Amino acid sequence: MAWRIEKRAAGHGAAPWWTLPASFAMALAVGALIFALLGHNPVAAYGAMARGAVGSFYHFSEVLVRAIPLMLTGLAVALAATMLLWNIGCEGQLVWGGIAAAGVGLFVAPHLPEVLVLPAVILAGAAGGALWALIPAVLKAYLAVNEILSSLLLNYIAIIFMEHLYFGPWRNPEGFGFPGTAQIDEVARLPHWGATRVHLGLGLALVLALLLFGALRRTPWGYRVRVIGHNPQAARYAGFRLRRHVIGVMLLSGALAGLAGMAEVSGIHFRLQQGLAVGYGYDGIIVAWLARLNPLAVPFTALLLGALIVGGEQLQSSLHLPSSISMVLEAVLLFGLLLSEALARYRLVRRASAQPLRRQGEPTPP
Amino acid sequence: MTSSPPAVLELSGITKHFGDITANRAIDWSLNAGRIYALLGENGAGKSTLMSILAGRYQPDAGTIRRQGRTVRFQSPAQALAAGIGMVYQRFMLVAPLSVAENIRLHGAAGRSRSDRQGASIRELAVRYGLAVDPDALVQDLSMGERQRVEILKLLNRRADILIFDEPTAVLTHTEIAGLFEVFQRLRDEGKTIVFITHKLEEVMAVADEIAVMRRGRMVARLAAADVRSQHDLARLMVGREIILNVDKPPAAPGETVLAVSGLSGPAGSSRPGFEEIAFEVRRGEILAIIGVAGNGQEDLAAGLAGLTPLKTGRLTFKGRRWRAPQWGRKPHEGIAYIPADRDRTASVGAIDLVENFMLTQLAVFSRALRLDRRRAAAATAAAVERFAIRGGGLKAPAGNLSGGNLQKLVLARELARHPDLLLAEQPTQGLDVRATEAVWQALLHQRAASAVLLITGDLKEALSLADRIAVIFRGRILDTIAARDSAAIDRIKLLMAGLETG
């Protein structure tokens, strides 16, 4: 037994550089295999995807449109995960952001001066998401309820409640029976960039990414969040109030996801209707992990995922492949990243006899 | 002793390092069939490491193990078990929702025998060795003593004939301990070899045939239990005589009382006994040591005083302000700097750099409004690195890369930088090499001029080198407080630590 695989002694510092390229390579390879199994030339299929995503200005603007909610939910997941909180509830928080934005746009806006309408809609979106996130936050902080389950299950409640609104009390009376609310006024909509569907939400998301990056690295609050994420025991030792931070971080995370819902309502659909909850909340998890939870990297990974989604839709029209192929690729990308990060924790050693001094969860050698 | 029967296991020159620390140094030991061996020593003496080497969990850096004359090298516990050597760890390795028989079968070679036959053979083993336990009972319904019996049955079922126990009595009640010792004797009479780790002298005297004493990684004595005249001899062997006061210590000039406690007990909301009726006072300008063998309540006391775990009853006066124990709270107090025993997981964050670790307990100092003042923190860290000669990759290196000594110096520098009124240092030199130990000791002595120092330690040499007064804690109570200048008191402290004398 000359060689053996051993766990690295310390998991400190960044994962090696090669994990991201390795996961891309793996995703491409698995995708190619799937294309081949479906009877298509992988090169042609990837070419069609690439053309679909960046082949023209219009196509690229559609990638940006998809990237906006992905950036916001990606930031939401990244912030929570920095403190070891798993906010799987971004989808529900997004929905509540949309409900609140639509509600203010429909029912409050007529009573407000015009300049205040859009700020009110944006704030309502953030507040809607934050309040929905408050439920798992309080359950976690005071009753130690696992936030993964509570936030996930609340997604379904949020979606059903939204459907109730646009099928029922908020349904547009002049909508010829279509499920959906009336359109919000022009003043309650996010301004658009030229003739595209790209809206102000893009600027908002980019500014928030910068702010979050700065806040996590340069403020005492961000420092505490990072320390709690790395080592809750040390945080308790230092006297940080863990409950308060759990609630604060979940509120902010929910607000970010709520803004994504607001952006979809106020920037794209202009009403509450089917097609708001299409999985951006869950995609945010992938965006955040590909970005290694770094807020500055989130816009780029959101673009990447946006391109994957738009490119996948093109496959449907040009090669008549199911568009769900892009979801498969997303999943393989994430698995590849997790796998290569897990592999990076091991190394090949020759006749190792040295053991790490202490490993968590093991009896301590004297 | 009988006329030298062949050794079933022979260790020679076993040496094991963990980084800078030598846990075992050139250990020779031979074990015979049909004997009960006690391996005695303080915490950190290297007992568990040595036993883990025997059981295949660690591989020695040097030395050989011979099993019935043949040299063996175990790469895993499974290989050691295949050679008939099994270990019962302090934390039992059982699957709670499964039955006793299932646990035993799980441990054996998979699918080797039918379950009904297995049940019968377990009963047979249980009867033979007096290990009463129902094979069909679920492990989660068993007491700790019964679970231990399941662990023993697991090993017997695999035909182990050398059974190693890591502090087997720690989790047992008094009656269960008596029962365990009966099992030991029965196993011995059947020709098995028993090795058990302990630091409790009365247990050694009660059941052992042979005694080996370890101290600081070396095996300092091997003797037959029949030759031991008193527990006092054993206590001296265990704690050692090499008290070298090589720290230049000017006499203390005690000032005002910084912390006084009385009738303190805790921790609240825990089933552990913890500590009771603790009373002491510590003044500015003096070092008070609370010394005890690990597990006598001093860990809980330190966490309670530091404000990390709630206290149950008693009163505290800190800087003239009076507190009732429950109000002392769960939050660190301004004016108390705490150096916890666990520097890796409590006192520091491995993934962030030295500067950020230096901010951990001084966040208010290094932040202005909404901004972290990293530049000022970096300057302060650089000064600390310079003053304490902290080596390990510079200010931007993750703290997890530092060696134990360098990390401890960083923690110490940080806590001293807070200018505390009370410095609470728990096992501050545990696992450190000589140079780092000296540096920490010098810093603690230096700090005595500015604040009150409460040193909680298990290391008598440390207490004697630094402290002005030494309080001995045993089973959660302070038995006596002794002036450290009184050199005649050293023997008494050892006896108090071993619980052989009362205050």
**Nearest CA-CA partner of B361 in B300, B426, B416:** B416
Residue A252 has pLDDT above 90, yes or no: yes
- Which of B27, B349, B368, B407 to substitute to test the interface with A, most A CBs within 10 Å? B349
Find the mean pLDDT for residues B172-177.
Answer: 77
Find the mean pLDDT for residues B406-416.
Answer: 95
- What pLDDT digit, counting tens, does each position of B44-58 carry? 688 888 999 999 989
Write the residue in A1, A224, A234 that is nearest to B347 by C-beta.
Answer: A234
Predicted confidence band of residue A356 (pLDDT cuts 50, 70, 90): very low
Distances (CA, A) of B335 to A58, B424, B441, B449, B450: 63, 11, 21, 15, 12
Q: Do B359 and A223 touch (CB under 8 A)?
A: yes
Q: Do B360 and A358 touch (CB under 8 A)?
A: no
Residue B283 has pLDDT above 80, yes or no: yes
Q: Do A237 and B332 touch (CB under 8 A)?
A: yes
User: CA B54 to CA B73: how far, in whole Å?
Assistant: 10
- What pLDDT digit, counting tens, does each position of A199-225 carry? 999 999 999 999 999 999 999 999 999
Show residues of chain B in contact with A355, CB under 8 Å: 18, 58
pLDDT of residue A125: 98
**Fold identical between B7-239 and B244-335+421-429+451-503?**
yes
Say if residues B291 and B312 touch (Cβ distance below 8 Å).
Answer: no
Write the residue in B18, B61, B90 that is nearest to A365 by C-beta.
Answer: B18
Say if residues B48 and B199 touch (Cβ distance below 8 Å).
Answer: no
pLDDT of residue B167: 85
Write the residue in A1, A12, A221 that is nearest to B351 by C-beta.
Answer: A12
Predicted confidence band of residue B115 (pLDDT cuts 50, 70, 90): low
Write the residue in A13, A360, A366 that is nearest to B47 by C-beta.
Answer: A366
Show residues of chain B in contact with A357, CB under 8 Å: 18-19, 21, 404
pLDDT of residue A4: 59
Mean pLDDT, chain B, whole residue set:
87
Closest-CA residue of B relative to A15 is B351
Q: Which residues contact A255 (CB under 8 A, 6 or more apart)?
A: A126, A127, A129, A130, A133
- What pLDDT digit, counting tens, does each position of A281-308 carry? 999 999 998 898 999 999 999 999 999 8
Q: What is the ipTM of this complex?
A: 0.83
3-state secondary structure at position B283: strand
pLDDT of residue A366: 36
φ/ψ (deg, to 5) at B235: -60, -40
* Cα B502 versus chain centre, distance: 23
Q: Do B345 and A366 touch (CB under 8 A)?
A: no
Predicted confidence band of residue B107 (pLDDT cuts 50, 70, 90): confident
Predicted confidence band of residue A15 (pLDDT cuts 50, 70, 90): low
Say if residues A92 and A253 touch (Cβ distance below 8 Å).
Answer: no
- What pLDDT digit, counting tens, does each position of A99-114 carry? 999 999 999 999 999 9
Residue B356 has pLDDT above 50, yes or no: yes
- In percent, the amount of chain A with pLDDT more than 70 equals 90
Kindly report the pTM of this predicted structure.
0.77
Residue A116 has pLDDT above 60, yes or no: yes
Domain map (residue ranges) of chain B: 7-239, 244-335+421-429+451-503
Mean pLDDT is highest, among A61-75, B11-25, B144-158, B286-300, for: A61-75
Find the mean pLDDT for residues B270-290.
Answer: 89
Q: Do B370 and A220 touch (CB under 8 A)?
A: yes
- In percent, the amount of chain B with pLDDT more than 90 equals 50
Q: Do A230 and B400 touch (CB under 8 A)?
A: no
Find the mean pLDDT for residues B358-373.
Answer: 92
Closest-CA residue of B relative to A356 is B18
- Which of A3, A4, A231 to substitute to test the interface with B, most B CBs within 10 Å? A231
- Which of B363, B373, B415 to substitute to test the interface with A, most A CBs within 10 Å? B363
Q: Do A223 and B49 touch (CB under 8 A)?
A: no
- What pLDDT digit, counting tens, does each position of B25-40 carry? 999 999 999 999 999 8
pLDDT of residue A348: 62
Residue A11 has pLDDT above 50, yes or no: no
User: CA B167 to CA B195: how far, in whole Å?
Assistant: 10
Residue A253 has pLDDT above 70, yes or no: yes
- What pLDDT digit, counting tens, does each position of A20-64 carry? 788 888 888 888 998 899 888 989 988 988 998 988 999 999 999
- What pLDDT digit, counting tens, does each position of B311-323 carry? 999 999 999 999 9
pLDDT of residue A184: 94
Domain map (residue ranges) of chain A: 69-294
Q: Do B59 and A365 touch (CB under 8 A)?
A: no
pLDDT of residue B248: 67
pLDDT of residue B4: 56
Which CATH number, 3.40.50.2300, 3.40.50.300, 3.10.20.30, 3.30.70.520, labels domain B7-239? 3.40.50.300
Residue B111 has pLDDT above 60, yes or no: no
Which amino acid would we find at residue B362?
Q
Q: Do A237 and B308 touch (CB under 8 A)?
A: yes
The encoded tokens of residue A251 equal: 């509120």
Find the mean pLDDT for residues B273-285.
Answer: 92
CATH architecture of B244-335+421-429+451-503: 3-Layer(aba) Sandwich (3.40)
